[in-house]
């Protein structure tokens, strides 16, 4: 048997080299796995895009992450973020996915470019304001606009590009390209509904709901109607506001609801043309933290006089009635209401000691309360 001598020193050095190379590859892989990823962020304040206090990784209303925007980016309700410079969405761009929630606004002071495979969603009542030129590149089909896009410069819509939804795209400058906006070729400069709604918000404060909205443009807009619902299904009209007719300026509108009930209230904005056609461009939701609307009696029990407080959403005349335990009407009083909270003094000095029932038909409901005379 013949044995061939081995050069063990060479084998040993080769083994060390292979082990070292394997270690480097493994270390490189671990470092890539532990490298920070761009996290999804939510806007939580009115601020510049680069502000580290304007973003949260938790959610809308969450604590600040002290970070710059990651990807995707969500612009939350009640916040306005301002970006200065060229802004692009898509692969290899500023971000790849952008969502603007109801009541949120992104202002870009510069040109905006949506690339192929970008995803942009503008929800109803959300707004993208572009103080520059806009380009939706060839075959960019991930743009959904149920809110409003206002473009101060030119609009370029590439071949095969689409903007879908039920919102508004208003281009102040010229448009070009073979893309479509809401199914229409972009030869138009106002590819939109009769109004371009920039935002529609509702906020509860001082025992009333403040409703605010703004339009970028209006075409033959006769008036707005505000409807309210407690379940998001059945709505009741509570107010109307005259429109501007035709306008290319930003116009602000407001209304106040003094009669919102406790809990969640849904509001929708209805727009009606001069020809009678209507659209519903915006919706807002607000939580009202107060007792259910009714009559407040102070004092109760009372001896000679009682202050009666209630809310009305219109200026009207009503008849207040007081009944005893037998159902006999013992007091009737005409009441002229103002829009908002009302307080009237009721003289009960002539009544006998006992329990009484007060009714007051206000708006579409009858308010009731019990009064104890002592």
Q: How many CA atoms lie within 13 A of 91 on its CB side?
A: 4
Contact 322, 306 (CB under 8 A): no
Q: What is the CA radius of gyration of the chain?
A: 32
**What does the pLDDT read at residue 20?**
47
- 30: Cβ–Cβ under 8 A, 6 or more apart, which residues? none
Q: DSSP code of 103?
A: T
User: Residue 68 corresponds to which tokens in the numbers above?
Assistant: 């710059």
Contact 155, 191 (CB under 8 A): no
d(CA 374, CA 192): 65
- 326: Cβ–Cβ under 8 A, 6 or more apart, which residues? none
Given a cut of 60, is residue 31 above it in pLDDT? no
What percent of the chain has pLDDT above 70?
85
- Residue 172: name the closest of 157, 150, 191 by CA: 150
Give the angle subtended at the CA of 72 by the CAs of 268 and 113, to the nearest 5°: 85
3 state SS of 292: coil
Average pLDDT over residues 223-247: 89
Q: Which one has a higher pLDDT value, 338 or 14?
A: 338
Question: H-helix or E-strand containing 17?
Answer: helix 8-34
d(CA 43, CA 341): 36
Write out pLDDT tens, residues 155-170. 899 999 999 987 777 7
Contact 146, 129 (CB under 8 A): no
Q: How many CA atoms lie within 13 A of 71 on its CB side?
A: 16
Question: H-helix or E-strand containing 24?
Answer: helix 8-34
Given a cut of 90, is residue 330 above it in pLDDT? yes
């Amino acid at each position: 048997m013949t044995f061939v001598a081995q050069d063990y020193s060479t084998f040993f050095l080769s083994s060390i080299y292979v082990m070292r190379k394997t270690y480097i590859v493994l270390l490189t892989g671990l470092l890539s796995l532990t490298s920070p990823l761009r996290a999804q962020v939510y806007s939580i304040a009115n601020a510049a895009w680069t502000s580290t206090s304007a973003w949260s990784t938790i959610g809308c209303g969450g604590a600040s992450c002290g970070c710059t925007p990651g990807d995707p980016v969500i612009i939350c309700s009640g916040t306005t973020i301002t970006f200065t410079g060229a802004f692009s969405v898509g692969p290899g761009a500023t971000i790849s996915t952008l969502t603007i929630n109801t009541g949120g606004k992104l202002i870009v002071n510069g040109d905006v470019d949506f690339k192929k495979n970008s995803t942009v969603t503008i929800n109803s009542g959300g707004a993208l304001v572009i103080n520059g030129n806009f380009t939706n590149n060839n075959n960019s089909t991930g743009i959904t606009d149920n809110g409003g896009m206002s473009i101060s410069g030119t609009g370029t819509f590439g071949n095969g590009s689409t903007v879908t939804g039920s919102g508004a795209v208003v281009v102040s400058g010229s448009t070009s390209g073979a893309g479509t906006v809401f199914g229409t070729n972009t030869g138009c400069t106002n590819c939109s509904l009769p109004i371009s709604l920039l935002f529609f918000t509702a906020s509860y404060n001082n025992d009333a709901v403040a409703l605010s909205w703004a339009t970028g443009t209006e075409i033959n807009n006769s008036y707005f109607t505000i409807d309210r619902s407690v379940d998001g299904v059945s709505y009741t009209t509570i107010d109307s506001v005259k429109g501007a007719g035709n306008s290319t300026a930003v116009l602000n509108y407001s209304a106040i609801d003094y009669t919102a009930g406790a809990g969640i209230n849904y509001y929708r904005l209805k727009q009606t043309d001069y020809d009678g056609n209507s659209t519903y461009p915006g919706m807002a939701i607000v939580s009202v933290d107060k007792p259910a609307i009714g009559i407040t009696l102070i004092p109760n029990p009372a001896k000679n006089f009682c202050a009666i407080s209630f809310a009305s959403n219109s200026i009207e005349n009503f008849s207040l009635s007081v009944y005893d335990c037998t159902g006999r009407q013992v007091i009737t009083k005409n009441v002229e209401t103002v829009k908002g909270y009302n307080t009237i003094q009721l003289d009960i000095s002539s009544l006998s000691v006992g329990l009484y029932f007060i009714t007051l038909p206000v708006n579409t409901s009858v308010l009731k309360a019990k009064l104890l005379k002592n």
